[in-house]
A = this chain, B = another copy of it.
Amino acid sequence: MTDESLREHPVQGAEVFRGNFLRVRRDTVQLPDGTRTEREYVLHPGAVVIIPVLGEAGDAAGCRVILERQYRYPMRQVIVEFPAGKLDPGEQALACAQRELREETGYRAAEWARAGQMHPLVAYSDEAIDIWLARGLEAGPRQLDHGEFLQVIETSCAQLMAWCRNGTVTDAKTLIGAFWLQQWFGGQWQPQWQPAGAQAP
């Protein structure tokens, strides 16, 4: 079955909600059988998630990572998650990853490796999240935004995996970060490290 036989074609559309944070668009689309329906989805500028790895460890035993604990109001609970943030207008993903890591945790990383991209909610958001590993970490002062409250924690990768299994970690980008760590440690994936000063791809 070709992509064309699944494709939906836009007919018309408009932004139907612009909040202080969220924007929603509604498009009329033509389905593969010629009938029409509507799609509503959140417009998002894109984001990054950072998997900050301490030490040189490329093995599960010695590995430690930086995580955050942050109250996520929609969930009404504190969520354990990897550092992440939205792209500023015109910002490259790697530059955003470096900025967010520094602002939220205080860490700067000497080396970066792109793990890929994820789409958190394909049904109703156009958000794409670029996934970056960071190592060669050097601690420094945090620069939290006004009104931003979060706790930076350090834990072993073994503990992270246990938290994924026992339901302590439920955040999608963090579960996917654990997946990449596991691919790395299992030898199925080799990060292509680049120095922090290199241009983002």
Binding site for B on A (CB under 8 A): 1, 3, 5-8, 16-17, 19-22, 24, 26-27, 29, 31-33, 35, 37-42, 69-75, 77-79, 81, 116-128, 147, 149-151, 161, 164-165, 167, 170-173, 175-176, 178-179, 182-183, 186, 188-189
CA distance A39 to B119 in the complex (A): 22
Interface of A is mostly: mixed
Distance between A118 CB and nearest chain B CB, rounded to angstroms: 5
12 inter-chain pairs at a CB distance below 8 angstroms, sorted by A residue, are: A1-B69, A1-B151, A20-B38, A21-B38, A31-B147, A72-B122, A72-B123, A118-B171, A121-B127, A164-B183, A175-B179, A186-B186
4 smallest A-B Cβ distances: which pairs?
Answer: A179-B179, A41-B74, A72-B122, A17-B17
CB–CB A41/B73 < 8 A: yes
CA distance A65 to B118 in the complex (A): 20
Q: Which of A32, A72, A121, A189 has the most CB of B within 10 A?
A: A121
Note all chain B residues with C-beta closer than 8 A to A16: 17, 19
CB–CB B74/A123 < 8 A: yes
CB–CB B29/A19 < 8 A: no
CB–CB A149/B31 < 8 A: yes
CB–CB B17/A19 < 8 A: yes
Contact of A22 among B20, B40, B165, B179 (CB under 8 A): B40
CA distance A32 to B149 in the complex (A): 8
CB–CB B118/A175 < 8 A: yes
CA distance A162 to B63 in the complex (A): 24
CA distance A118 to B75 in the complex (A): 11
Distance between A145 CB and nearest chain B CB, rounded to angstroms: 11
